[in-house]
Chains A and B, each alone.
Chain A
Amino acid sequence: MSLSPNPPHDPRANYIQMMQRKRLYGGLTMAIFALLLVSGFMLANDRNAGGFWSGLPHVLDFPADVWADAAPKVDQLPGHFLTFFPSLLETINIAAVSTLIGAAIAVVLSMLATRGLALWPRAIPVFRRAMDIMRAMPEIVIALVLIFVLGGGPVPAMIAITFHTAGALGKLFSEVNENADLKPIEGLQSVGAGWVQRMWLGVIPQVAPNYFSYGLLRFEINIRASAILGFVGAGGIGYELKNAMSWGLGKFDEAAAIFILLFLTIVVFDQLSSRVRQGLIHKGGH
């Protein structure tokens, strides 16, 4: 019994035919894709100032310079580590403070933007768009503007990262909130609890492990962000790295030390947070 309109005389041949047609279409798609890629690449190369092919052999020049500069002065590296450790701490501090404050703002924003929890249900789109805007603005843009207004230093970096973090975490927190069980909140509503009490006692205990997990992930990201912001004059280890690099040859040992410090820090915090997050997920059971 066959369901197709013209029953196949030879199922094998039919299948092979279909297979070949599929292969042909697949191959054509691949070819078009490759063609587009190559032509686009050529166009980009033509418009570039330096040119890709001529620049390609020099890609490794900088690492080689750093290596050549730093290798004979390996004995000075621990000294450099000590010199730059305070600015590394500054970078981590910027990240930690802005993660904490940003997360606190995100908690409030996410509650106001979650259906079923919002204090003013009609204002949900307002808070959602607000978070979109906060998240859409890259830290470096905000930091550049703030450095122009407030002058260089860690405070503009902190404000910039906090702003971005509040938007990014707010979105994630709001998704967590949507999965919160509404029954306990209804229970608290029935005793006459106010909005803050309902959120704090009914929602937070349910979502705290997930909040914490996302918060740690954001902390990792913010360490990198605050290191980069140093480049535009926001203090911390990025600023030192920029200085060391602009001294040029002869000072690259300092740059190497900073690279190593940064790399180690990021690895350590990555590992640490994934350990803690793993623990949370297993304990929370979801």
Chain B
Amino acid sequence: MLLVENLTKSFGSNTAVDRMTFEVDRPMMIGIIGRSGAGKSTFLRMMNRMTPASSGRLVFEGTDVLQLTGGGMRQWQSQCAMIFQQFNLVPRMDVVSNVLHGTLNRRSTLGTMFNLYPTEDIHKAIDILDRLGIADHAAKRAEALSGGQQQRVAIARALMQDPKVILADEPIASLDPMNAQIVMDALRRIHDEDGRMVIANLHTLDTARRYCDRVIGMRDGRIVFDGSPAQLTVGVARDIYGADETFSESATSTEIREHTGHQARVPA
């Protein structure tokens, strides 16, 4: 379904992503972990074609998406939704308009300039908002919503695209634990109910363990771990983050649960 082969991105002499290679055969929820600067975001941005790749191939359902240009590239972008850490909504526009932006690629430029969206699209947008539990805020400006609500609007925009893949770049990094859980639950549900592939960059190990079917660990632009969450032991995690034995997952955990129960799970 998805084949990434020797995907490389260099900025000058700096290599952000170094010969990244992996294959995904069916829609699953994939978590990418690694410390800041490991190349996680660069990979997602290359996949969405926001950042041009230096070399390599990225084949999705038989098409090398890195070769697409112009309209073909934009059509791929509409198939491959992206969710950002800072939500990237248009703050002065209302929530439904922001969700309807997901259809921009399908609609004529002139129509969208004057906000002429078909009624069924508007209904669909409100239904998606309802599914994510924020339909009450439909008419508000995006900037009036809390961070967790804004991220759900961003997910609604992604769903409006009816994409095959959803990329999420640190979707919960600017949210409190409560909202983080709501957002991650929503992403997992989208995968379970709609069968869409979800690839998420995550900065906490426990989130990756809890929500993902497969975890990819990156360090200095290279894949250093690729396996199931169960295989992700503390030793492996230390290797991914380049940490010594003082590293403890529970120290930065944002999950809400019994503290003692958590410590028992981590072998020292």
**Which residues on A are within 8 Å of B, measured CB to CB?**
181, 183-184, 186-194, 196-197, 200-202, 205-206
A22 to chain B, nearest CB (A): 49
Whether B112 is near chain A, meaning CB under 8 Å from some CB there, is yes
Q: A191-B105, A191-B161 are in contact. Are A186 and B74 (CB under 8 A)?
A: no
Does B161 contact A201, Cβ atoms closer than 8 Å? no
Tell me, in angstroms, the Cα distance from A205 to B87 when the chains sit together: 17
Could you say which residues of chain B place their CB within 8 Å of the CB of A189? 50, 77
B28 to chain A, nearest CB (A): 21
Does A191 contact B113, Cβ atoms closer than 8 Å? no
Does B88 contact A184, Cβ atoms closer than 8 Å? yes
B97 to chain A, nearest CB (A): 8
Could you say which residues of chain A place their CB within 8 Å of the CB of B90? 184, 187-188, 201-202, 205-206
Q: A188-B90, A196-B113, A197-B109 are in contact. Are A183 and B157 (CB under 8 A)?
A: no
B25 to chain A, nearest CB (A): 25
Q: A184-B89, A186-B84, A192-B104 are in contact. Are A201 and B112 (CB under 8 A)?
A: yes
Name the prevailing secondary structure of the A interface residues: helix
B63-76 vs A, Cβ < 8 Å mask (1 yes, 0 no): 00000000001111
Which of B91, B104, B154 is the one whose CB lies under 8 Å from A197? B104
B70 to chain A, nearest CB (A): 9
Tell me, in angstroms, the Cα distance from A225 to B259 when the chains sit together: 74
Does A193 contact B74, Cβ atoms closer than 8 Å? yes
Instruction: Show 30 A/B contacts (Cβ-Cβ < 8 Å), sorted by A.
Output: A181-B91, A184-B90, A186-B84, A187-B82, A187-B87, A187-B88, A187-B90, A187-B154, A187-B157, A190-B84, A191-B77, A191-B78, A191-B81, A191-B82, A191-B105, A191-B157, A192-B77, A192-B104, A192-B161, A193-B105, A194-B74, A197-B109, A200-B113, A201-B90, A201-B101, A205-B90, A205-B91, A205-B92, A206-B90, A206-B92
With A190-B88, A194-B74, A201-B104 known, 13 other A-B pairs at CB within 8 A are A183-B87, A183-B88, A184-B90, A187-B82, A187-B89, A189-B77, A190-B50, A191-B77, A197-B112, A197-B113, A201-B112, A202-B90, A205-B92
Closest to A206 in B: B92
Which of B75, B81, B92, B113 is the one whose CB lies under 8 Å from A190? B81
Closest to B161 in A: A191
Could you say which residues of chain A place their CB within 8 Å of the CB of B101? 187-188, 191, 193, 201
Does B77 contact A190, Cβ atoms closer than 8 Å? yes
Could you say which residues of chain B place their CB within 8 Å of the CB of A194? 74, 104, 109
